[in-house]
Each structure stands twice: as C-alpha cells, then as structure tokens.
Amino acid sequence: MSNTPLCDNLFPPSYVEDHFGYSQEWKNEVEKWLFVSKNINEVVYNKQKNRVKKAKQRDELIGEYKAMYVAKEMWHMQNVQFTNEENAIKKIVDFTFKDTEDNLWKVEVKSPSWLAELADDFENGIITKEQFLERKQKPQYINGESRCLGFDIFRNPIEDAIKKFQAEENNLLFLCPNTFAPLDFFGSLENWHQLRNIIAELDTEKKISTVCYFDVSLSGGVFNYKYPLIKIKSTPFIKE
C-alpha cells in the first residue's frame, strides 16, 4: 500500500518525475500539503482534482496547497478556509484565515512557472522561437544550465492577484515560484527593492498588504521552508 495515496491519486506520474525530481522525499512532503488541504474541506478538495490536467493549473494548485499548509501548520492560523468560487459573482481569492489577533485575511497564491519564464525570454528576444519550442519539450532542470535572474516574472501574476483583492481589506499575496532558480537570497539582500517597485507601479489602489515569497527546497535530506513576509502596509500577527 502506498504511503502517499493522495499524491498518487492527484498527480500523474509524469508530473512527479519532472517536477519532484524523481524523489520519494518530495512525494512524502507534498502528501502533507494535500492532507491538510483535504481536511480543511474535502468537498472543495475533490472538486479541484481536474485542475491537474494542465501544467499551469497544476503549478497553481500545488502552490495553493503548500501555502495553506504554511498558514495552518507553521503559522498556526485559525479558520483556514477555501473560498467558494462556484457561487462567486466576481473573482475571489484562493483562501482566507484569521490571524492570532482574530483579523481576517484574504489570500491569493500565484505560482509563476518555469514555462512562463521561458516564454518571457522568448518575448524579450533572449531566445528564438525555435529555441523556446525545443527547450519546453525538455525537463525543467538540466545539469549545467544557467539562467538570468529577475523579478519581472512576477508582473503578470501580481496584476492578476490585484484583480482579486478589495481595497481596505487585509490582503496577503503568496508568490510561490516554480522557476529555474530561487530569488529569495537576492531579494533579501536588497530588502526586496525590485519587487516593491513592481508592486508600487502595478498596485495603484494599494490593495496589497503583505507579500510572502515562499520557497521550499530539499538539501541533505532536510526540507527548508522560506517564507519571508514583505510588509507593504501591514502583516498578519503570527505565533510560530
């Protein structure tokens, strides 16, 4: 009997191989994210299974699940709940929670993918169309391949998130990139200056309260969770 039944049931083998690096450790960790989300609301969890059919939606779905895992298990937030998109008149956020001071927070999760980064390179003339089409047919990670780092990959996701937020509310944006290289080290060195500038440019109504740059990595058999909160207006009260 599999020790990762939720992961095996939700994700096709090709996704596990390409994105989890052929690693049983990753499957075990992802199983924790899925278990938490399913327990929050099994009905909504089951309705979302069809989102794994397309690569972009798979990345978004797993980004939402791991963000919910952090909010509930690591930040110990209360009333973590999926939002009801079926009955929504307009676009709404992915989930909500209440912080340790009982403040309600609206949460949107965006997961820019390596394919989006590749498409950005093509649109900016860094690679040709032929190179773009050839590279996207290969696995995400190739030994010896280097990439240029930049925060522009977040522009479109930030714009999309702003449409989900309402002004004068507590709005938290999770950025969970599935790109070629993590940017948290470079961002923290400059106090997230580039990212702050992009948000200031795009968020003219000042809807975003906080951004969480969320990255998970596996090193030496240990999973490292990094989730710095980048304060724009305010941050949730957390008791870790």
Within a domain: 50 = no
Within a domain: 44 = no
Contacts with 48 (C-beta within 8 Å, 6 or more apart), sequence order: 61
Within a domain: 4 = no
Within a domain: 19 = no
Mean pLDDT along residues 85-106: 85
Within a domain: 181 = yes
pLDDT in tens, 130-163: 887 887 777 665 655 655 556 777 888 899 999 9
pLDDT in tens, 31-57: 999 999 999 999 999 988 888 877 678
Within a domain: 81 = yes
Within a domain: 139 = yes
Q: Count the domains in the chain.
A: 1
Predicted local confidence at residue 127, as pLDDT:
82
- Listed ranges 26-30, 107-111, 215-219; the one with the highest mean pLDDT: 107-111
Cα 164 to the center of its chain, rounded Å: 15
- Contacts of range 116-122, beta carbons closer than 8 Å, 24 or more positions apart: 116/56, 116/153, 116/156, 117/147, 117/153, 117/179, 117/180, 120/152, 120/153, 121/148
- Mean of pLDDT over the chain: 84
Within a domain: 142 = yes
Give whole-number Cα distances, 129 to 123, 124, 224, in Å: 9, 11, 36
Predicted local confidence at residue 60, as pLDDT:
86
Closest CA to 109 of 43, 37, 50, 194: 37
Mean pLDDT along residues 181-200: 72
Task: Supply the range of the domain harboring residue 116.
Answer: 73-231
Question: Confidence band (pLDDT; 50, 70, 90) for 103?
Answer: very high
pTM: 0.84
Q: Can you state the angle between helices 114-123 and 55-69, rounded to 10 degrees?
A: 130
